[in-house]
Structure formats: structure tokens, C-alpha cells
Amino acid sequence: MGPTLEIGDLPQKTLPGATRSEVKSLAMGAARSKGWTIAESDDSRLILQRPTDGQTLPTGAPLPPGATLEVTSYFVEQQGGVTVATKAELVSPVSGAAQSTRNDYTDDFRGVLDQSLDSLADSWRQHRARLARAAPPASGWKSAWDEGKSKQETDNASPSEAATPDGAAASAVAATEAGSPPPTTYEASPSPETAAATRPTPEPRRSAAGAAPVVDATAALSSDRGTPPPDYSYSAPSNDMMRLPSSNRGSRRLTMAANAEDYAREHGCEVEGSGSQLIESRRDGEVHKVPCAGSDSFLVKCQDGICKSLL
């Protein structure tokens, strides 16, 4: 596809100093927040779809059943900036046909398309510093969940890095293993001294049966009474650690939502009273949409206590 040949006299806007990936990410976030569905996306093109009705189309325009309004945006990188061009089409399914019919409505919606481009340019000028800090890697945007899995696999393969923030899941595993130390309990107990005094290992067993002398039985009983307290004192934190994940699961969603809103506030968002909206949830994290008063919403991923913007 040659984008420079397709934009022609389409409604278009040039954003000086912008990169294609940054502008496209900003356009995708704005489209989602306004209820558009992303039908297709590649390096230089973004296709949005939305159901339409008779009030949306010009007066007297036919509206076939099942028709959708489709807006295609082209992102053309030029020296010193990016040019964004848009066109609008009405896509209507045809019974028994593999392809749908398309009617060009770009001229009818030119004013609306120009307003959308102006809004995109204003949003770019307002948030360009934040977008520059969150620029995607050379390999492009990765799935929010694949990134989390690769970090956990890396941390599991290198235990020495388990204490880093990116390796929080591996740190939890290491802490769980370190939190159950039965061998140290036996080493710290005074049982070795008792064993050295009684010498034969079978004699404590005979004392329990009452066949050994009274003195030996008393020593064995006193040592038995002195041994359990260290065991009980260590068993309590072990049980606490067993109960910790269940309490985290119960409050994780509220904590993630609060973290997402805090992240948005720190980056200039005045969070609306409706609060954040959960977009996707998995065991290792959540994606929240945080609405901002007077500006575009934030799409924030929170995982293992760390939040970051996906736009």
C-alpha cells in the first residue's frame, strides 16, 4: 500500500515533530474512549467502525440494514513530522455476497473529520512530553500480558535477580520458600544437649513407656516440654503466610483501581467522579481505563504493584 498516493485531497493534518507510532497510539486511545471499535490496524493505517443510524447520515441518504460507519486514518511519516489523513465510508453487508458494498461519505463528513484531526493535534501538543517518555520499543508494542510472563520466566531462571521490582512474582516465591525453615527450628532447640546427656537414642522412647529410671524419665519429659514452644512460635508466621494470598485476592481489584487512578493523577489527569473502569483482568494484573475531566482518558496497566500507561 502506498499511503502518499491514497491521501490525495482527503481531510488531513500535519503534526510537526511527531512519530507515527506515537500519533497512532494517541488516536487509538481517543477512539476507544469514544466508543469506536478498532477493526484493523497496521503500521500506517487504522480502521475504526461504529454502528450508525439515520440521524448520523445526511438527510435522505439510504441506510441498509446492518450498515456500519467506517473511518480509515492514514499515518504518513514525512521529514520533520507525521501527516494524518482520514476518510469515511458506509459499509453495508450484501446477502449472499462475500464482500460488502462501500459508499464514500468523506465529503459529507469533512467538517467532522477536520474537527477530529484538530482535536488529535491539540491532544498531541498537550501530551507530547508524556508520549515521548512512553515511546514504544523498536520492536513495537507488545501484549501487556506477554510482557508480564516474560519477566516472570526471566526471574525464575535467575534467582539472584528476584529482588528487583520487575521480578516481584519471583520475589514472592523466594520469600515463601524462605519463610518455612523447620531445620533452623531443630538446630536452635536445646534437644542436642539432652541427646548428649542421654547418649543412647532408644532410651527417650523407653522413658515414654515408663520402663526407664525415674530420673531419666523426668529429664526426657522436661526436654519434651521445653521443645514445643519454639515449634509453636515458628508455626504462627508460617500460617500467616499461608493466609496472606487469600486476603490479597479479596482486595486486589480495589487496590489496582486506586493505583491506576493515582498513576493518572501523577501524570496530570483530573480523575472524574465515576472513577476507573476495569477493561481486562487476569491473575497477574489488570488494565483500567481512567476517565479524565477535560482531557483524554488514561489506559493503565497495573501488575505486581507497578502501574504504567499503555498509550
The pLDDT tens digits for 140-184 are 555 556 655 555 554 554 444 433 333 333 233 233 333 434 444
Please indicate, yes or no, if residue 143 is contained in any of the structural domains: no
Query: Residue 18 domain-assigned?
Result: yes
117 contacts 106 by C-beta, under 8 angstroms: no
Domain presence at residue 148: no
Beta bridge mates, 78: 81
Query: Which domain does 237 fall in, by range?
Result: 161-180+230-309
Is residue 138 domain-resident? no
Q: Check residue 209 and give left, alpha or beta (phi > 0: left; psi -120 to 50: alpha).
A: alpha
In a domain? residue 166: yes
Q: Is residue 156, in this structure, part of any structural domain at all?
A: no
The domain total for the chain is: 3
**Which sign does the torsion angle of CA 225, 231, 236, 239 carry?**
negative
221 and 171 together in one domain: no
Mean pLDDT for 14-34 is: 90
The pairing of strands 37-42 and 12-16 is unpaired
pLDDT of residue 139: 57
**Grid coordinates 483482568 are at which residue?**
281
Instruction: Indicate the average pLDDT of the chain.
Output: 70
For residue 306, give the 3-state DSSP assignment. strand
Q: Is the pLDDT of residue 115 over 50?
A: yes
What is the three-class DSSP state of 245?
Answer: helix
**The pTM is what?**
0.43
Same domain, 236 and 174: yes
The pLDDT tens digits for 246-302 are 444 445 667 888 888 898 888 889 888 888 888 888 777 888 888 898 888 888 888
CA distance 124 to 30: 11
